[in-house]
Structure 1
Amino acid sequence: MTAATPAPAFSGAVLCGGASRRMGRDKAMVEMGGRPLALGVAGALQEAGAGEVFAVGGDLRALADLGLEAIPDDQPGEGPLGGLLTALRHASDPVVVVLACDLAGAQPRAVRQTVAALAADPHLACAVPVVDARLQPLHGAWRRSARPELQAMFDRGERAMHRVIAGLATAEVNGIDPAALVDVDTAADIDAFSLSLRPLPSSN
């Protein structure tokens, strides 16, 4: 991002409405490193500079007890597109960064990179990281102005995020640390990710 393209004000949303079937309990509240996953993701958004951070869906009372603003999903059970639409409706800023609550390695720098990619072109609707040729739609920066187009897709029955992105002017963001995009679906995933963060033993 150049000096001529200042970072836009952005809101941050944490999607917490998934069923968490493979985890066996509410993923948003599962602890890693001594704090719930949802709180870690919210912290990354706050540190990145989000003007507001809120959670969408999930156990609203439990999330509020963590100190998070929590709003109900307008379309519960309809997948991340429903949560995204809720976030775009509720947000105050023109750009909304929407992260899944299970992004165990969420990083402020990755959030800022994603926002910068969106800000680089005013015609873009969203910016999404790509790793190993795969888009990561649950770590996206979205313009609130894209909501009518997204709503139309939703109303037509679309729920698959990769097809949603294919229908929009999207920036594919390269160079983001893959660790920032790791999602954890099971307790074993959390153990494996936690292990990957430990420093290697000294060879001395």
Structure 2
Amino acid sequence: MKNISALILAGGKSSRMGRDKALVCYQGKPMLKRVYEVAQECTQEVYILTPWCDRYKHILPSDCNYLTESQSGNGPLYGLYQGLKQISTQWILLLACDLPLLKTKIIQKWINDLEQVHEEILAVVPHNSVNWEPMCGFYRHHILPELQSLIQTGGHSFQECFSDIKVQALSITPEVKLMLHNCNTPEDLNKAF
């Protein structure tokens, strides 16, 4: 599928990690670089949304596409909104920078299946019996007005967003559950080994 870009969010405060988690190494490689490499294998273009573009230039390719986060600290939903305003592909694969166990094979299968997704579906996101996993999900470009409306009325969570739009669930198998392990704390990182 050609009309898809990846947007990696690298603008969080990393307060629970105690240092910039994008630069924290997993098996000798910074987590942001791991996520970037998987995204690059799966999509046409990869964008990094961050307020600190210079901070990551030493770990990513020189031709990396940076989008400057204009208002950091507003959360990932606002990050998706900022990215969608600057990226024009039909689909965006949204990724957090703290997912060191991403698997190209799984994401590529999900991308191939997007061709079958009905036009009224605005997001395709992993879901278990309780929670959505929005930080490794697919969003149609024309979700933008819905996001803008939600943000303007004070909304800031993906759960609020998903209650107002049509979302298609991706099932979470044991392999997918492992892949979606995110590392917010040093303990999370230790569990990933």
Mapped pair 1:110 → 2:106: yes
Q: Deviations over 1:122-154 (max 9, x none)?
A: 211010001343210111101111111111101
Q: Which residue of 2 aligns with 1:62?
A: 55
Q: Matched residues in 2 for 1:187 and 1:125: separation?
A: 34
Mapped pair 1:164 → 2:157: no
Corresponding residue to 2:46 among 38, 44, 53:
53
List gaps (5 residues or longer) in structure 2: none
Q: Matched residues in 1 for 2:163 and 2:113: separation?
A: 17
Corresponding residue to 1:139 among 133, 136, 144:
136
Q: Which residue of 2 aligns with 1:189?
A: 188
Mapped pair 1:91 → 2:87: yes
> Please, which moves more after superposition, 81-90 or 69-78?
69-78
Q: Please say if residues 51 and 72 of structure 2, whose CA atoms lie closer than 8 Å, have aligned partners that are also in contact.
A: no
- Identity over the aligned pairs, expressed in percent? 26
Q: Matched residues in 2 for 1:116 and 1:122: separation?
A: 15
Q: Please say if residues 122 and 165 of structure 2, whose CA atoms lie closer than 8 Å, have aligned partners that are also in contact.
A: yes
Q: Please say if residues 128 and 140 of structure 1, whose CA atoms lie closer than 8 Å, have aligned partners that are also in contact.
A: yes
Query: How many residue pairs align between the two structures?
Result: 187
Q: Which residue of 2 aligns with 1:152?
A: 149
- Normalising to structure 2: TM-score of the pair? 0.89
Amino acid corresponding to residue 163 of structure 1 in structure 2:
E
Q: Please say if residues 118 and 126 of structure 1, whose CA atoms lie closer than 8 Å, have aligned partners that are also in contact.
A: no
Q: Which residue of 2 aligns with 1:199?
A: none
Q: Please say if residues 2 and 44 of structure 2, whose CA atoms lie closer than 8 Å, have aligned partners that are also in contact.
A: no
Mapped pair 1:26 → 2:20: yes
Q: Matched residues in 2 for 1:14 and 1:24: separation?
A: 20
CA deviation after TM superposition for structure 1 residue 112, in Å: 2.6
Tell which structure's C-alpha radius of gyration is larger: 1
Q: Matched residues in 2 for 1:54 and 1:27: separation?
A: 18
SS of corresponding position for 1:110: helix
CA deviation after TM superposition for structure 1 residue 111, in Å: 2.2
CA deviation after TM superposition for structure 1 residue 8, in Å: 4.8
Q: Which residue of 1 aligns with 2:177?
A: 178
CA deviation after TM superposition for structure 1 residue 110, in Å: 2.9
Q: Against the structure 1 CA distance between its residues 74 and 147, is the aligned structure 2 distance closer, same or farther, given a 3 Å change threshold?
A: farther
List gaps (5 residues or longer) in structure 1: 1-6, 195-204
Q: Matched residues in 1 for 2:155 and 2:108: separation?
A: 29
RMSD over aligned Cα atoms: 1.7
SS of corresponding position for 1:28: helix
Q: Against the structure 1 CA distance between its residues 113 and 164, is the aligned structure 2 distance closer, same or farther, given a 3 Å change threshold?
A: farther
CA deviation after TM superposition for structure 1 residue 117, in Å: 4.8
Q: Matched residues in 1 for 2:20 and 2:142: separation?
A: 31
Amino acid corresponding to residue 174 of structure 1 in structure 2:
S
